[in-house]
Amino acid sequence: MNQRVNEAVWEMPEQSVASYVQAVMECYRQHINPSLAALMQFMGFDSVEVAAEGCVVRDAHGREFLDCLGGFGVMTLGHRHPRVVAAVKEQLDKVPLSSRVLFNEPQARLAERLAQVTPGALQCCFFCNSGAEAIEGALKIARLATGRTHFVAAQNAFHGKTLGALSASGRAVYKQPFQPLVPGFTHVPFGDAQAIADALTEDTAAVLLEPIQGEAGVIVPPDGYLREVESLCRQRGVLLIADEIQTGLARTGKMFAVEHEGVCPDLMCLAKALGGGVMPIGAIVGTADIWKCLEPNPLLHSSTFGGNPLACAAGVATLEVLTTENFPEKAATRGAQLMNALQAVQSDFPDAIAAVRGKGLLIGVEFTDEDIAGLVIAGLAQRHIIAAYTLNNPKVIRFEPPLLITEEQIATVAAAFREAVQQTMALVADL
Ligand SMILES: Cc1ncc(COP(=O)(O)O)c(C=O)c1O
């Protein structure tokens, strides 16, 4: 790997390292989430991360992993992008967390930059701390702006795991234990505009969609789908909310995935990559017209940490890097290379791999069987590649590395993937 993490970060005798790793994992088992700890170990991730840079994560043993998961889409700029780290360090020495009563400049600048880069008439922002929180806020704003309470969303969608976001999401296994959820959500097949037309009623406040479904297994809708949904929404006076939490900020080869079809939503939700892989931050961006509904009471929706100066400084630096270093183009070029490499493996293993699909550097590989996908992830981990399945479709392994992944690193990923599939299929044949 040509991008090596800081050599000086971790020096410890191997024996002490082993007991350090055991101690950290034991804390997970006793105090965090024992079954998550077991799952991580089963997937082959039985170590502790101690340093990261670019596309590379280093564990306590000094092993380097090529990161093809990127914190579930957070690491668009890679780990610890120097311009984002510098901006956050500078802000840390000024005002890290806001007084909340004086104006804060990083928040003002980030809102202004988002208004400039987002499509159409999007120009007002509410800042929060995560994707699910952005969805919650967007649902509330849509209800307030329209005076209606119902939503149309897509089957298998993933919008987060707080109550409102979960109600909008699609996978029963995450929803069932928490019933009753928020009422008023109708779910229709993704990619079918007629199904949306049929589901809209007098009570529909908004249609909520991911432009490309991420956790459903990287599902790209048919060409023209989003445009049709947009015009349906306009005709019926319904708002369109784009969940760009995973697809946004250059990941798919455009700054926002709705731009592939020239669509302008009324509300857009962002998070993940907005903090540049350094700070957590989420945002709802809406039109000035919609924002009027918040005017009667400025504290109708709020968040103590939302819009804090550290996170916003990271956001401003992130947008600077994305635009000046041409990240959308990087995603398109490297995405095509990775897609070709993965498709070449698919054509050699048609019994194992049903499809390879995606846009830019959001790529899903669908296996014919969920267990094969699990074993391939473990095989990739053995070869020091970090990957994971999509949350609402465990048959699909997603590849969403930092957009600065090199051609050489893509070749490394493809070779490891081929070996992992080969090894898994040999294992399955022996059963
Ligand atoms: C499309 C989409 N929306 C919302 C979320 C929820 O974001 P968070 O985990 O930050 O709450 C995710 C997370 O994976 C996502 O992919």
Residue 177: other Cβ atoms inside 10 A? 7
Q: Is 151 a residue of the active site?
A: no
User: Could you report the per-residue pLDDT of 375-415, keeping only the tens digit for each?
Assistant: 999 999 999 999 999 999 999 999 999 999 999 999 999 99
Q: What is the atom index within ligand 1 of the atom nearest the CA of 271?
A: 10
DSSP reduced 3-state for 428: helix
Q: Is residue 356 part of a domain?
A: no
Distance (angstroms) between ligand 1 centre and the Cα of 160 equals 5
CB 308 within 8 A of CB 291: no
- Residue range 26-66, pLDDT digits in tens: 999 999 999 999 999 888 889 999 999 999 999 999 999 99
Q: Which atom of ligand 1 is nearest to the CA of 135?
A: 4
For residue 421, being part of any structural domain is answered with no
Domain assignment present for 385: no
361 falls within a domain: no
* C-alpha to C-alpha distance for 346 and 342, rounded to whole angstroms: 6
Catalytic residue among 65, 67, 185, 272: 272
Instruction: Identify whether 190 is part of a domain.
Output: yes
Work out how many domains the chain is built from and give that number: 1
What pLDDT does 11 receive?
A: 58
In a domain, 425, yes or no: no
pLDDT in tens, 258-315: 999 999 999 999 999 999 999 999 999 999 999 999 999 999 999 999 999 999 999 9
User: What was the pLDDT predicted at 42?
Assistant: 87
Domain for residue 117, yes or no?
A: yes
* Residue 158 annotated among the catalytic residues of the structure: yes
pLDDT at 44 (0 to 100): 86
What 3-state DSSP class applies to 243? strand
pLDDT reported for residue 12:
67
Q: Which domain holds residue 300?
A: 82-324
Task: Assign residue 292 the CATH number of its domain.
Answer: 3.40.640.10
Question: Does residue 114 sit in helix, strand or coil?
Answer: helix
Q: Rounded distance, CA 61 to CA 22, Å?
A: 12
**Would residue 305 count as lying in a domain?**
yes
159 lines ligand 1 (CB under 6 A): yes
